Amino acid sequence: MTPPRRDATTNVVPPGSRVSRRGFLELLGLAGAAGAAGAMGLASPLGAQTAAVGGGAALPPGYAPGWPDGVMSGDPQPDGTVLWTRVADPGVADDVPIVWEVAEDAAFGTVVAGGMVAAGSATGRTAKVVVTGLASDRWYHYRFSAAGSTSPAGRLRTAPDTGASPDALTLAWCSCQQRSSLFVAQRAVANEPDLDLWMHLGDYVYVNDVTTLSLDDYRSMYRLWRTDADLRLVQAQLPTVAVWDDGEFYNGIDRTGDPTRLANAMTAWVENFPIVPPGGDPTRIHRSIRWGDLVDLVMIDTRQYRDPAIDATDTRTPEGAAIFDPSRTTLGTAQRAWLLDQLDTSAARWRALGNSYNFGMWRLDDLDDGTRPLPPGVHQNEGIYAPNEAWDDYWAEREAILEHLAANGIDNTVSLSGHTHIWIASALSPDPDDVSSPLVGYDFTCGSLTSDPDVIGQAVGNGSTPQDAYAFYRNVSEKSREINPWQAYVNFHNFGYGVATFTRDELVVEYKAIDVHDDGADPTLLARFVLPSGDPCAMSVEYFDEPLYNGATAAPTPVPHLPWQAPCQAVQPPTTTTTADTTTTTAAPGGTAAQPVTANPSFTG
């Protein structure tokens, strides 16, 4: 794999300068890119019409550049960011010269950075610009131009200076966008007030597990997804910070995959996001983004280095017990060492992991009753684990990370996660089955951006009413919380995204749902979590009505949420005796007789 292209010329606007658009064109000419005015379809103040980039043969007559994938900025830094776009293929090998410009105002009357970049066939006609020299902690506007055509304008955000003390960072995070429903959640994210960035945690595309093989096959997936106007909107409106999951490769990808296919998938992903991999390694996506002294965003890669997932779910079998093997890894040795170093050296108030799959332990049946010493043949943390291919498959590695946090007094650490298409909020401790195990953080896992799977719709298709289906899955959610008392929230049936606001005093997390089959839908609040700085035992939860879609004409009978109390040493897990009857006797969707409810999340990203 070849490294991504950087900007073909340096920023022609001197750092700290503010120039008119005419002055910007003059600077381009002085930099040897006098053809820029022609490329932008403007009269050049120097009258030159030479090739601005490359110097190859002229582009085909009549070629009109288009911007089919829109524009993106990403990975904000205190002095700049990375800009991205793709132009329509001209049908020849020659580079397409593109002018890029960054302005203080939406009318581009005052340009603060700009230059030329080439969109070549070697990178699928994508172009990246590494912008530096901007002021910290502020918004700018940017766009691209070529041969008389101008791209849509986007907004970019610079991060605060490393030593600055910003008041807040507000971000949306999400994952899993199949083309199975409308992208109204993406539009809602674009319209969220006061967001500084959006974080996409993978399953951005869903390739065909059988036929998506070549580099062009993978490139075509991103082009198909970006035909959606709402996806292009959010990417232009907000800086993007992203990692991949398995949808960008094939279902269940790990380090044992075909090297050529993995390389093609990684090349296409890196080409199609505003990222320059650290250290010159074109396959590396784990990296940190610092927001002054407030938050360190630590983006991790759980896929390309990992051992294969464990299919067995019962740890009483040798196959299921393999999840406890201390040699198993999802991060790989080098990335794990890097992650621990990031946690050790972070001086920020908060540490947030951008984690493609859920971090908290999740069982369908708890077979560790807390008896110590353990009976013969019984493994600590025994259970039937949820078959959702996540951190439970790498038990020892997760435990080591959480023990590291506890042993080194590293507080205010949370994981923002995706992948499983199910909303989960979990308290994190090295051993959730040990009441003396310290609470070191939280995992907040968002639901799917789109209707995959539409469990309510499937139940209705099988003869259930929407109300009965809703009640069934609400009961499943509360049954999961009974089995896993460290879970503060579970939701199987809504779709949407999360919003996290970090301040010096607290972290506020909101789960927001939206009807992905209604083009005019607005988001509604599912739950709000408030985590005080330095006191994980004091997290509070506020529950809201969960929206019912799929043609329901009446509100369902409310199913109560279990009360939340953080599982700290000084308290016991929440009691469930008052809800035991209601959470175990609801009729299953499509049926009439009361049946025990069993959480069975066999659908995942």
List b or e across 368-404, with b for residues whose CB sees 16 or more CB atoms inside 10 angstroms.
beeeeeeeeeeeebbbbbbbbbbbbbbbebbbebbbb
Angle 215-225/259-271 helices, nearest 10 degrees? 40
Which residue, 555, 599, 444, 547, is CA-closest to 185?
547
Using DSSP bridges, classify how beta strands 524-532 and 540-543 pair: parallel, antiparallel or unpaired: antiparallel
Provide the pLDDT for residue 282.
Answer: 94
Using DSSP bridges, classify how beta strands 149-150 and 139-146 pair: parallel, antiparallel or unpaired: antiparallel
Which residue, 221, 253, 71, is CA-closest to 146?
71
The residues, any chain, with a CB within 8 Å of residue 369's CB and separated by 6 or more, are: none
Q: Can you name the residues that pair with 118 across neighbouring β-strands?
A: 97
Measure the N-to-C terminal CA separation of the chain; round to a whole number of Å: 27
CA pair distance 198, 204, nearest whole angstrom: 13
8 Å CB contact between 419 and 201: yes
CA pair distance 359, 46, nearest whole angstrom: 59
Question: Which residue ranges form the domains of the chain, and what is each CATH number?
Answer: 21-157 (2.60.40.380), 173-579 (3.60.21.70)
Radius of gyration (C-alpha) of the chain in whole angstroms: 25
Give the rounded distance of the alpha carbon of 470 from its chain centre. Answer: 27
Helix (H, G, I), strand (E, B) or coil at 50: coil
Sheet containing strand 240-242, edge to edge, reads: 126-131, 80-86, 71-77, 240-242, 197-200, 168-174, 496-503, 506-513, 524-532, 540-543
Whole-prediction pTM value? 0.91
8 Å CB contact between 75 and 289: yes
Return the DSSP state at 326.
T
The residues, any chain, with a CB within 8 Å of residue 501's CB and separated by 6 or more, are: 168, 169, 170, 507, 508, 509
Give the number of other Cβ atoms within 10 Å of residue 347's Cβ: 9
Model pLDDT for residues 492-510, shown as the tens digit of each residue? 999 999 999 999 999 999 9
Provide the pLDDT for residue 27.
Answer: 87
8 Å CB contact between 235 and 70: yes
Q: Which residue ranges of the chain lie beneath pLDDT 50? A: 1-9, 34-57, 570-600, 602-603
8 Å CB contact between 42 and 52: no
CA pair distance 33, 49, nearest whole angstrom: 9
Provide the pLDDT for residue 380.
Answer: 87
Name the residue with tokens 């025990």: 596
Name the residue with tokens 């995706």: 418
Q: How many helices (H) and strands (E) does the chain have?
A: 11, 24
CA pair distance 279, 460, nearest whole angstrom: 51
Which residue, 377, 484, 387, 386, is CA-closest to 429?
484
**Residue 376 has which token pair?**
């013969």
Helix (H, G, I), strand (E, B) or coil at 432: coil
CA pair distance 5, 123, nearest whole angstrom: 8
Is the torsion defined by CA of 422, 425, 427, 428 positive or negative? Answer: positive
H-state helical runs in 372-465: 395-407, 455-461
Helix (H, G, I), strand (E, B) or coil at 486: coil
- Rounded to the nearest 10°, the torsion over CA 261, 263, 266, 271 is -110
User: What's the per-residue H, E or C state across 136-198?
Assistant: CCCEEEEEEEECCEECCCEEEECCCCCCCCCCEEEEEEECCCCCCCCCHHHHHHHHCCCCCEE
8 Å CB contact between 540 and 530: yes
H-state helical runs in 272-363: 318-321, 333-345
Helix (H) or strand (E) holding 524: strand 524-532
